[in-house]
Amino acid sequence: MRRLADFLCLGLVACLAACGAPPIPFDRGATPTVNTIGVLTPGWPQGPTVHTAAVPMGGFLPVALAAAAAEAARESRFTKVLEAERFDAAGEFRTRLVAAVRARGYQVVEVPATADRGKYLETYPTLPNPPDAWLDCVVPLWGYVAANALDDTPYRPIVGMVCRLVRAGSGTVLMRDTVVYNPLRTQPASGGAVVIAPDPAFAFKTSDILMADPKKAVAGLLAGFDSSAEALGGLLK
């Protein structure tokens, strides 16, 4: 089931980029009244993915079920590895997101929101001093993926993120885009997501090697968070 969920998540990133939510570029020069951005707690999945995309004969149900069980075990083990490292993935990502927005000269107000959501907020908080705009981001998945189950395609970090900038009050969408670090699935050619190639320094031939080097595994994830947040900042210039 988890394998199915991961597949759907991987598909979700592509889908959010492709269906119904084409990117909208931000024109900062034409929007001088946006100076303060309320960065909402990003939507965040329950745990990391450790996904193997292509399993030989994976189209047959018994093979798919066995692969799903193996994947669930890998993810449970990786979650424990990260817990032992006291790795707060959501916190690390949020810190980088805020820093990337601040680096573009905006004032930032961090505003709590539920992280347990797979979509944008439908309504935004009411504050005594509201920001000029809300930055609403959802991370459908993060973790590691290998393109196939053979040893020739290593596990590399993956991060998928959808974000929109919404003017406070009017609700006008000023910017909307998708950023995928290490996109595994082919994205639509036109109007597709920002795609970031993974850092070659973080490649693990097998999941056992990944689990055995937690410090490097965390560093790989942080590289993905850094690049994704930086790309988002670039979209707000």
Partner 1 sequence: MKPWAGLALVAALAGCRTPGPPPLTMLPARACPEAPVLAGTRQLAEARPEQVDIAADAPCIATRAGPALYAAFQLPPRRPAMVEIAGVPQGETLFAPRAMLLDASGRVTREIGPDAFMFRPLGLSALVRLRPEDATLVVTSDPAAAGKRMSRIRTQVQTMVLSAPPMIYYAQDTGSDTRQELMLAHNGRVSVTFRLLAENP
Residue with Cβ nearer partner 1 (87 or 155): 155
Determine how β-strand 107-111 pairs with β-strand 156-167.
Answer: unpaired
Residue 209 binds to partner 1 (criterion: CB under 8 A):
no
| Residue 231 within binding range of partner 1, rule CB under 8 A | yes
Min dist CB 184 to partner 1, Å, is 5
User: Least distance to partner 1 from the beta carbon of 224, Å?
Assistant: 13
**Bridge pairing between strands 133-148 and 156-167:** antiparallel
Taking CB under 8 A as the criterion, which residues in 106-145 touch partner 1? 145
Pick from 91, 88, 98, 84: which is nearest to 38 by CA? 98
Binders of partner 1 among residues 12 to 31 (CB under 8 A) are: 22-27, 29-30
Interaction residues for partner 1, span 138-157 (CB under 8 A): 145-148, 152-154, 156
Residue 4 found at the interface with partner 1 (CB under 8 A): no
What is the CB neighbour count within 10 angstroms for residue 83? 11
Count residues contacting partner 1 (CB under 8 A)?
49
SS3 73: helix
What SS3 state is found at 30? helix
Greatest alpha-carbon span in the chain: 58
Locate 235 and state its tokens.
């979209």
CB 159 to partner 1: min, Å: 13
Nearest to 137 by CA among 44, 75, 200: 44
Contact 180, 13 (CB under 8 A): yes
Answer for which of 15, 53, 90, 121 binds partner 1 (CB under 8 A) is: 53
Residues 60-79 that bind partner 1 (CB under 8 A): 60
Q: How far, in Å, CA of 57 to CA of 216, rounded? A: 32
The mark string for 150-189 relative to partner 1 (x by CB under 8 A, - otherwise) is --xxx-x--------------xxx--xx----xxxxxxxx
Our CB check for partner 1 shows the closer of 113 and 194 to be 194
Binding status of residue 32 toward partner 1 by CB under 8 A: no
- Of the two residues 94 and 164, which places its CB atom closer to partner 1 in the complex? 164
Burial class (CB in 10 A: 0-12, 13-18, 19+), 167: middle
Q: Distance (Å, rounded) from C-alpha 156 to C-alpha 29?
A: 37
Which stretches of the chain bind partner 1, using CB under 8 A? 22-27, 29-30, 53-55, 57-60, 145-148, 152-154, 156, 171-173, 176-177, 182-198, 200, 231, 234, 237
